[in-house]
């Protein structure tokens, strides 16, 4: 977690929107969530909507998200949903911005690489411009991919990464690196209050069933009785984070074996070809998050996978025997 406390700003932040204190303003906090129809965004909206003082505006272009993820809130008086692409400017009056809009699964972000860069760069510029105009605090969901194929393990916030600038993943990882730079430059130059969260492989209910990421692939394959496709060599590691949490580091082979054991003992595990630039190991150093935010993981992989299994069973129509 990198925060603006790391670097002292030379400018004071812009004045908050007068709407925040206006008499006709019913709620205390108006919050914009970009990408709020996606997997993490919709869980965040659920959390924000629990506070009756919050009014939530979601903007999403539905590239990888869906209205279905927000169905419980559509029509709610404190909730608003706008079809909008963040590469275009947006004029709304808000107090806080959670900027998540960006395809996250490699198959989706590689699908239209130039659009992914535009979303990261122009989208983040637009949201920072908005934050500056209305004096809102802004959080960017960055990624462990900013470390590339890391040479330092586990990765602390101070590590600068080992990233291929011209590879097929660069639209995403370099895009997020520029987005982080923009955040810190707007902070230093304009005094914007910023937060940057470098999220590591998160899984849970509401992921797209055919999302292409490893946990959703393995669970959907186990439920469809298809072989679990471990991309070679299978010893590459990730630290999986339940949608509100973090767990231990696993190799892909270990993950496949856990899914097989928990979900479908009859399913086969096969090794398939990998994609270029796949990071060989990845694990966050969470010391700072523990010290500063008191944050630490609670849900273990063996507890989180069954919660996701239940959601996938319902959506795939595969009852439990
Ligand atoms: N899930 C993870 O493991 C993970 C890890 C690191 C970082 N992140 C980051 O968290 C955020 C959310 O990821 P997710 O897993 O929920 O992915 P997701 O694909 O489910 O959600 C992304 C949302 O952004 C929307 N979107 C994409 N491009 C847009 C655009 N140009 N304009 C408006 N909306 C747009 C999509 O339609 C979708 O609803 C992303 O910024 C991602 O980079 C996720
Ligand atoms: O979560 C993160 O921090 C970032 O990285 C992930 O990218 P990646 O780690 O490559 O995620 P997956 O596509 O789920 O792959 C994880 C590992 O599983 C392997 N894999 C994937 C799919 C599959 O069917 N089988 C398989 O073995 C891949 O080779 C890779 O080593 C996410 O997709 C990004 O959204 C995110 O920003």
Q: Are residue 98 and residue 241 in the same domain, yes or no?
A: no
Interatomic CA distance for residues 84 and 59, integer angstroms: 6
Are 150 and 226 members of one domain? no
Domain final position from 172, 199, 226: 199
Rounded to two decimals, the ipTM of the complex is: 0.94
pLDDT for residue 5 is more than 80: no
Q: Which atom of ligand 2 is nearest to the CA of 256?
A: 27
**Domain assignment of residue 265, yes or no:** yes
Q: 154 and 64: one domain?
A: yes
First to last CA, the chain: 42
Q: Which atom of ligand 2 is found nearest the CA of 172? A: 37
Q: Is the pLDDT of residue 13 over 60?
A: yes
Contact 41, 60 (CB under 8 A): yes
Last residue of a domain, one of 179, 199, 219: 199
Alpha carbon of 131 to ligand 2 centroid (Å): 31
pLDDT class for 250, splitting at 50, 70, 90?
Answer: confident
Considering the domain architecture, whether residues 222 and 182 belong to the same structural domain is answered as no
Q: Are strands 2-3 and 194-199 parallel, antiparallel or unpaired?
A: antiparallel
Catalytic residue among 98, 147, 172, 203: 172
**Residue 130: per-residue pLDDT:** 97
Q: Are residues 101 and 158 part of one domain?
A: yes
C-alpha to C-alpha distance for 90 and 132, rounded to whole angstroms = 12
pLDDT of 147 higher than 60 = yes
Q: Which residues contact 122 (CB under 8 A, 6 or more apart)?
A: 86, 87
* CATH number of the domain within which 254 lies: 3.90.25.10
State whether 227 and 245 are in the same domain: yes
Dihedrals phi, psi of 69, to nearest 5 degrees: -65, -20
Q: Which domain holds residue 132?
A: 27-199
> Model confidence over 77-94: pLDDT tens digits?
999 999 999 999 999 999
Residue 19 lies in a domain: no
CATH of the domain at 122: 3.40.50.720
24 falls in which pLDDT band (50, 70, 90)? low
- Cis preceding-peptide flag for 233 (omega within 30 of 0): yes
- Residues 118 and 258 both lie in one domain: no
Mean residue pLDDT across the chain: 90
Q: Are 41 and 185 found together in one domain?
A: yes
CA distance 62 to 86: 11
pLDDT tens digit string along 124-136? 999 999 999 999 9
246 & 193 share domain: no
Examine residue 3 and state whether it is found in any structural domain, yes or no: no
172 in catalytic set: yes
Lowest mean pLDDT among 31-45, 52-66, 270-284, 301-315: 270-284
Mutate to test the pocket of ligand 1, among 100, 118, 121 (most ligand atoms within 8 A of CB): 100
pLDDT at 289: 85
Whether 124 is in the pocket of ligand 1, judged by its Cβ within 6 Å, is no
Together in a domain, 146 and 219: no
Within this chain, do residues 214 and 295 fall inside the same structural domain, yes or no? yes
Q: What distance in angstroms lies between residue 213's CA and the mean position of ligand 2's atoms?
A: 5
Q: What is the pLDDT of residues 190-235, one digit of tens each?
A: 999 999 999 989 999 999 998 899 999 999 999 999 999 999 999 9
- The count of domains in the chain is 2
Quick check: is 271 in a domain? yes
| Domain membership flag for residue 22 | no
Residue 9 in any domain: the answer is: no
What six digits make up the tokens of 26?
A: 């019913």
Q: Please check whether residue 119 lies inside any domain of the structure.
A: yes
List the structure tokens of 122.
């122009």
**With 80 as the cut, is the pLDDT of residue 11 above it?**
no
Q: Which ligand is nearest to the CA of 81?
A: 1
Question: Is 17 contained in some domain?
Answer: no
Cα dihedral value 164, 167, 173, 176, nearest 10: 110
- Both 130 and 160 in one domain: the answer is yes
Neighbouring CB atoms inside 10 A of 124's CB total: 27
> Exposed, middle or buried by CB within 10 Å (0-12, 13-18, 19+), for 13?
middle
193 and 16 Cβ atoms separated by less than 8 Å: no
């Amino acid at each position: 977690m990198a925060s603006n406390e790391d670097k002292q700003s030379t400018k004071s932040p812009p004045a908050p929107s007068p709407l925040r204190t206006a008499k006709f303003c019913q709620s205390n906090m108006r919050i914009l969530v970009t990408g709020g129809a996606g997997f993490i965004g919709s869980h965040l909206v659920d959390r924000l909507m629990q506070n009756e003082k919050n009014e939530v505006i979601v903007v999403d272009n539905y590239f990888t998200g869906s209205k279905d993820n927000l169905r419980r809130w559509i029509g709610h008086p404190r909730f608003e949903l706008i079809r909008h692409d963040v590469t275009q400017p947006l004029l709304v009056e808000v107090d806080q911005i959670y900027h998540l809009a960006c395809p996250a699964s490699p198959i989706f972000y590689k699908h239209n690489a130039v659009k992914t860069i535009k979303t990261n760069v122009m989208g983040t510029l637009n949201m920072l411009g908005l934050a500056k105009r209305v004096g809102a605090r802004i959080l960017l969901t960055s990624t462990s991919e900013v470390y590339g194929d890391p040479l330092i393990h586990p990765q602390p916030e101070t590590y600068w990464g080992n990233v291929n600038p011209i590879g097929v993943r660069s639209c995403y990882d370099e895009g997020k690196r520029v987005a982080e730079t923009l955040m810190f430059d707007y902070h230093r130059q304009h005094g914007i209050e910023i937060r940057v969260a470098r999220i590591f492989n998160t899984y849970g209910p509401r992921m797209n069933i055919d999302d292409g990421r490893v946990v959703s692939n393995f669970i959907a394959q186990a439920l469809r009785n298809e072989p679990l496709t471990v991309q070679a060599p299978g010893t590459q590691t990730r630290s999986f984070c339940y949608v509100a949490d973090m767990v231990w580091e696993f190799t892909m082979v270990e993950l496949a074996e856990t899914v097989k054991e928990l979900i479908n003992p009859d399913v086969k595990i096969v090794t398939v070809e990998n994609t270029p630039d796949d990071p060989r190991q990845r694990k966050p150093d969470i010391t700072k998050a523990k010290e500063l935010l008191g944050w630490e993981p609670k849900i273990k992989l063996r507890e989180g996978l069954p919660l996701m299994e239940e959601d996938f069973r319902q959506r795939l129509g595969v009852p439990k025997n």
